[in-house]
């Protein structure tokens, strides 16, 4: 256990556990994306049709590659969030990068999804995930940092 983490726990930082829960919740949702990374193309086509997006272009290798790559990256940053959640004090700088990186990429991605005509539920899901969860993580991050600053001034 790091000295900073020990100080945080000894001072009872109230923002640590909520931030850990948010990071874990986000991470677990994203780790699910490893499943589509390896699913058969016929299943991709079925899912595509269930979402009213028409037939998946199973004859286009680039479409399959991009679908798998996107799923793999989503699963990877979910795993990254789960690792960061193990010690939010120790990984505070990486968590800040995680929050701002996802907010930036997600905001642009949501606009691009709207621009290319993705279904409304898809756009709203992205919007919710980015515009609500990232700021929520940031609030807990700032609370944790303020608490750490106060705890360090007491000593």
Number of domains in the chain: 1
Tokens of 149: 């600053």
Q: pLDDT, tens digit, for every residue of 112-139?
A: 999 999 989 989 988 888 888 889 999 8
Domain range for 17 is: 3-154
Report the C-alpha gap between 80 and 96 in whole angstroms: 13
Q: Considering only CA atoms, which of 141, 55, 152, 129 is closest in space to residue 97?
A: 141
Say yes or no to pLDDT of 65 above 50. yes
Average the pLDDT over 43-67 and give the result: 95
Compute how many other C-beta atoms are within 10 angstroms of the C-beta atom of residue 120: 9
Q: What rounded mean pLDDT belongs to the chain?
A: 88
Compute how many other C-beta atoms are within 10 angstroms of the C-beta atom of residue 34: 16
CB 36 within 8 A of CB 71: yes
Report the C-alpha gap between 28 and 64 in whole angstroms: 24
Q: pLDDT, tens digit, for every residue of 2-33?
A: 545 444 453 578 889 999 999 999 999 999 99
Q: What does the pLDDT read at residue 153?
A: 61
Report the C-alpha gap between 152 and 143 in whole angstroms: 14
- Mapped onto helix, strand or coil, the DSSP state of residue 20 is helix
């Amino acid at each position: 256990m790091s000295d900073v983490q020990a100080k945080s726990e000894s001072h009872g930082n109230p923002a640590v556990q909520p931030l850990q829960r948010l990071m874990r919740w986000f991470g677990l949702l994203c780790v699910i994306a490893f499943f589509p990374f390896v699913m058969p193309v016929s299943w991709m086509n079925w899912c595509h049709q269930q979402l009213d997006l028409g037939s998946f272009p199973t004859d286009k290798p680039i479409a399959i590659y991009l679908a798998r790559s996107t799923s793999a990256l989503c699963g990877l940053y979910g795993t990254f969030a789960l690792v960061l959640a193990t010690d939010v004090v120790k990984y505070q700088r990486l968590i800040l990068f995680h929050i701002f990186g996802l907010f930036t990429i997600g905001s642009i991605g949501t606009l691009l999804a709207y621009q290319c005509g993705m279904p409304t539920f898809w756009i709203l899901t992205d919007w919710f995930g980015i515009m609500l969860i990232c700021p929520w993580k940031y609030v807990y991050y700032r609370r944790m940092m303020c608490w750490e600053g106060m705890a360090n001034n007491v000593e």
